[in-house]
Structure 1
Amino acid sequence: MITPAAPDLADSLFPSAREEAPRANQPTAVPQTEHPAYRLAFQDDDFLLREELRPVRFQLELLKPELLLAEAGITSTFVFYGSARIPSPEQADGVLAAARTPREKLVAERLVAKSGYYTVARELARLSSCADRGQGEPCLTVCSGGGPSMMEAANRGAWDEGAPSLGLNIVLPHEQVPNAYVTPGLSFQFHYFALRKMHFLLRAKAVAVFPGGFGTFDEFFELLTLVQTGKVAPLPILLYGREFWTRVVNFEALAEEGVISPRDLELFRFVETAEEGWEMVKAWYSSGPLDD
């Protein structure tokens, strides 16, 4: 008579999906098992990608980063928004050399003039990151869109410090490879912009917004709307590049026209240097915890 092993009271009576899935992939070959209807639902890509399954895909895209970030102990982030087109100082000469027409040369010169913000973003990320969180220094985990330019600068600053950083990439018609400075285990890819933007802010303790285009505007103004309407608690919002932002957006006019309150202009602060921005963040949390 075989004596069963003593049960672990924490064990489930049922086999896990991980245990059963391999067996489900090796059925006896008969017409019924070879039909797609026989596949386990969670292993059936054709089923999961149906239009009717969009709510399930929303849930999965919210849940996967949520679980992995919780397991990694990431609770407080410093989010960086900004252009994917501003060159790093190392790329500046190449951008100028590639310009051919007078129009292209003018645009190239303006982009190169903004390359200093790459350096600022990199330094701000370095200042706010900690490789060893046991030293008692206040620090945050850098989070970017995972792409090039200002996003790369943010992840690179954390990398300079030997600290981990997040990259929240998005599937686009033209491939966007994660930049080399994102921590591999914290590099995520999204199909839905809405879920990606939610993850930007779920753990955000501060946000730095650098000059950028439609994507940066979208993220920045959605953040302002969420804070303005009380859907998100106030937090430090650093707007880098007063000259750029006041040229492309007349914030004062919005208040003068009555479509926003004058108090809404206090939701963000113009800054220029990494040190200035980091001091603002630390001052904001001077009466409470800042680090993870």
Structure 2
Amino acid sequence: MKKNNKKTLKNNHTIIHRYTKEDEAFLYSNDARGVRLELDYLKAETKLKNDGIEHTIVVFGSARVIPFDEALKKLEKIKKKFKSKPNSEALLAQLRSAERIVEKSHYYEEARHFGKLVGKAGKGPDDTYVTLMTGGGPGIMEAANRGAHEVGAKSIGLNIELPHEQEPNPYITPELSFHFRYFAIRKLHFMQRAKALVVFPGGFGTLDELFDLLTLIQTGKNPPIPVVLVCRSYWERIIDFEFLYEEGVIAKEDLDIFSYAETAEEAWKSILKWHKQNKTPLF
């Protein structure tokens, strides 16, 4: 065999006769997207099923709402910078934002307390029949996972692959920490076992997740579940639901899909009451 033919065969073996699992160019191609979607779904589904997790209580909220002491430190740093450059509009905007985060930092503690309430419910921390689930990131998500962790309960984190590489928070139960490539599959897992949704103040991501479920319930694609919005003043400022009704673009009964709460205790009692009234007790 000629030397150049041997070289061609070697190249073919490297490029074509490679195990599929080793061929990243193919695995991440458009043609293999369906397989990737299925794998994204199956890994988490198999683990949750094998661990006996039948139902979840899902918590959404901003990744930027952090503990009070951390928020205060960030505020002080920005104050020092602004003091040296008092005419900086950019620093002024950062200062105002940091002040608002300090004001909202108590919701970190409320989410943390809520995680404890869910973790201690049922037959205790070892009971995974109803398990807390978050987006797995920092802020409110971390707080809820942290609360469950502090009472010895398992909790789930559904992390997502982002350009800035969002890392899972350290309080998720390690074997229940999942990393998704696709938002759609992550959202599917949020809703698939959900028996309640608690939404703390948040931004685009939180709004996206909230409206996804509101739409599914409104259209009958998802069975009704309690949806609790924490901090009524925040939600009424950013979304005028009554205006939507007055404009005729939603029905009056759509306003009953969700309710408001100010504290973790209030949110949890609201969830338990909803399920009792609808004869679908959680425990």
- Category of TM-score, reference length = shorter chain: 0.7 to 0.9
Match of 1:61 among 40, 43, 47: 40
2:191 is the alignment partner of 1:222: no
1:40 CA drift (Å): 2.6
- What is the CA–CA distance in structure 2 between the aligned matches of 1:82 and 1:220, rounded to whole Å? 10
Identity %: 48
Give me the CA root mean square deviation: 2.1
Name the CA shift for 1:44/1:148 in 2 (closer, same or farther; >3 Å): same
Name the CA shift for 1:80/1:234 in 2 (closer, same or farther; >3 Å): same
Unaligned 5+ segments in structure 1 are: 1-29
The answer for the alignment partner of 1:290 in structure 2 is: 282
- What is the CA–CA distance in structure 2 between the aligned matches of 1:229 and 1:135, rounded to whole Å? 35
1:105 CA drift (Å): 1.7
- What is the CA–CA distance in structure 1 between the aligned matches of 2:164 and 2:235, rounded to whole Å? 28
- What is the CA–CA distance in structure 2 between the aligned matches of 1:134 and 1:195, rounded to whole Å? 30
1:138 CA drift (Å): 10
The answer for the alignment partner of 2:28 in structure 1 is: 49
The answer for the alignment partner of 2:255 in structure 1 is: 265
SS at match of 1:79: strand
- What is the CA–CA distance in structure 1 between the aligned matches of 2:68 and 2:124, rounded to whole Å? 34
Q: Is the 8 A contact 1:138 1:290 kept in 2?
A: no
- What is the CA–CA distance in structure 1 between the aligned matches of 2:125 and 2:180, rounded to whole Å? 34
Q: How does 1:138-177 map to 2 (within 5 A)?
A: 140-177=130-167
1:50 CA drift (Å): 1.3
Which stretches of structure 1, 4 residues or more, deviate above 6 A after TM superposition?
A: 134-139
Match of 2:186 among 180, 191, 196: 196
Unaligned 5+ segments in structure 2 are: 1-8, 83-90
SS at match of 2:157: strand
Q: Is the 8 A contact 2:56 2:131 kept in 1?
A: yes
Decide which structure has greater helix share.
Answer: 2
1:188 CA drift (Å): 0.7
Q: Is the 8 A contact 1:238 1:268 kept in 2?
A: yes
1:95 CA drift (Å): 2.1
Count, aligned residues: 262
1:278 CA drift (Å): 0.8
Q: How does 1:1-292 map to 2 (within 5 A)?
A: 31=10, 34-99=13-78, 100=82, 101-130=91-120, 133=123, 140-286=130-276, 287-291=279-283
Output one character per residue of 1:229-266: Cα deviation in whole Å (capped at 9) or x when no partner.
00000001010011111111111100000000111111
Q: Is the 8 A contact 1:122 1:156 kept in 2?
A: yes
- What is the CA–CA distance in structure 1 between the aligned matches of 2:47 and 2:232, rounded to whole Å? 37
- What is the CA–CA distance in structure 2 between the aligned matches of 1:98 and 1:258, rounded to whole Å? 47
- What is the CA–CA distance in structure 1 between the aligned matches of 2:50 and 2:120, rounded to whole Å? 18
Q: Is the 8 A contact 1:166 1:182 kept in 2?
A: yes
Q: Is the 8 A contact 2:66 2:105 kept in 1?
A: yes
Q: Is the 8 A contact 1:139 1:290 kept in 2?
A: no
TM-score (ref. length: structure 1): 0.84
- What is the CA–CA distance in structure 2 between the aligned matches of 1:217 and 1:98, rounded to whole Å? 30
1:46 CA drift (Å): 2.4
